[in-house]
């Protein structure tokens, strides 16, 4: 053997050397074996492999593009068609449509983008049997880009099923507005005093009916219309009242579409009530 190895760092030195040419320490004692440097090489390689695997997992979880299909699996069974031939209306609960989205199980980035989805139908009303209806989904495109979510489908065409035949009997006189029970008075959100709410679907309100209502009475009537359609109230007083009478719903304001959810009578009554409420403010 023409070389000796430093017992401190493992570097090779000539047999005549007294001090290590690499670390400068004395070379006396039992020579170190070259295997010391091999050991360090093995450790470095192992650390590099762990870092590479960890980096891949981080990239796969945070940056790898993931597909989100918002519309392909939506069918006519996921929405509700009501009304008569030529006057049909399509309604739906956005939470039901979100359940039809397709994306990798448990992917949080896709779920974040899905939560921003807003659904609409075109056309929404005056529908006839067999007519095509396009369900459109809008979403936060900036968030999707930031989260590396590739949204693949945002439109789905469905067809109106058989609707009831339109009645041909003579037109009936519009029901009197007196059939709508309008809540008047004070303490309008007292559940023991007012255990039930008004039904604004049975007839149309007149300007005279609404003109006599106070601002609080107008707002209470508006709230009652929403309460009949699973609306989630956030104003504490309103939420407590509708919770007490079993009508606090689950659909948030961002997901609620009045034109889709309300019946024709409710939609017209709601518009009139909102008009007078805003004039009183």
Same domain, 182 and 238: yes
Q: How many domains does the chain have?
A: 3
Residue 171 lies in a domain: no
201 and 276 housed in the same domain: yes
Cα 47 from Cα 240, distance rounded (Å) = 58
Sequential DSSP letters for 85-125? TTSBEEE--HHHHHTT-B-STT-HHHHHHHTT-EEEEES-S
Q: Identify whether residues 150 and 224 lie together within a single domain.
A: no
Residue ending a domain, choose from 40, 62, 84 = 62
Q: Are residues 84 and 42 part of one domain?
A: no
90: containing domain: 66-159
- How, if at all, do strands 80-82 and 89-91 pair? antiparallel
User: What pTM, to 2 d.p., does this model score?
Assistant: 0.44
> Do residue 188 and residue 137 come from a single domain?
no
Spatial CA neighbour of 161 closest among 72, 75, 101: 75
Q: Identify the burial level of 101 via C-beta atoms within 10 angstroms of its C-beta, where 0-12 means exposed, 13-18 middle and 19 or more buried.
A: buried
- Both tokens assigned to 179: 């059939």
d(Cα 257, Cα 82) in Å, to the nearest integer? 16
Q: What is the pLDDT along the chain (281 residues), one digit of tens a residue?
A: 678 888 888 888 888 888 888 888 888 754 444 455 566 777 777 776 776 665 555 555 656 788 999 999 999 899 999 988 888 899 989 999 999 999 988 898 999 999 999 999 999 899 998 899 999 999 999 999 998 999 989 999 999 998 888 765 444 434 444 467 777 778 888 988 888 888 888 889 888 888 888 999 999 999 999 999 999 999 999 999 999 999 999 999 999 999 999 999 999 999 999 999 998 87
The answer to whether residue 198 is domain-embedded is yes
Alpha helices for the chain (secondary structure H): 35-62, 94-98, 108-114, 141-146, 207-211, 215-227, 236-244, 258-261, 264-280
């Amino acid at each position: 053997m023409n070389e000796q190895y430093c017992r401190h760092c493992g570097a090779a030195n000539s047999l005549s050397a007294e001090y290590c040419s690499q670390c400068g320490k004395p070379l006396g004692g039992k020579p170190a074996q070259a295997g010391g440097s091999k050991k360090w090489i093995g450790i470095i390689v192992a650390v590099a492999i762990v870092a590479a695997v960890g980096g891949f997992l981080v990239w796969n979880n945070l940056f790898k593009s993931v597909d989100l299909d918002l519309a392909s699996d939506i069918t006519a069974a996921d929405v509700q068609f009501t009304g008569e031939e030529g006057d049909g209306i399509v309604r739906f609960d956005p939470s039901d449509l979100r359940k039809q989205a397709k994306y990798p199980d448990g992917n949080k980035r896709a779920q974040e983008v899905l939560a921003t989805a807003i659904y609409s139908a075109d056309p929404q009303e005056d529908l006839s049997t067999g007519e095509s209806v396009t369900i459109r989904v809008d979403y936060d495109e900036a968030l999707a880009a930031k989260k590396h979510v590739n949204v693949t489908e945002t439109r789905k065409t469905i067809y109106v099923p058989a609707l009831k035949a339109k009645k041909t009997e003579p037109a009936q006189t519009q029901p009197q507005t007196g059939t709508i029970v309008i809540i008047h008075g004070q303490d309008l959100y007292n559940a023991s005093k007012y255990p039930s709410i008004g039904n604004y679907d049975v007839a149309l309100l007149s300007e005279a009916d609404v003109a006599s209502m106070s601002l609080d009475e107008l707002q209470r009537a508006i709230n009652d219309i929403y309460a009949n359609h699973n609306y989630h109230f956030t104003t504490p007083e309103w939420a407590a009242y509708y919770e007490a009478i079993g009508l606090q719903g689950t659909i948030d304001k961002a997901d609620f579409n009045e034109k889709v959810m309300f019946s024709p009578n409710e939609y017209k009554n709601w518009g009139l009530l909102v008009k007078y409420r805003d004039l009183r403010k």
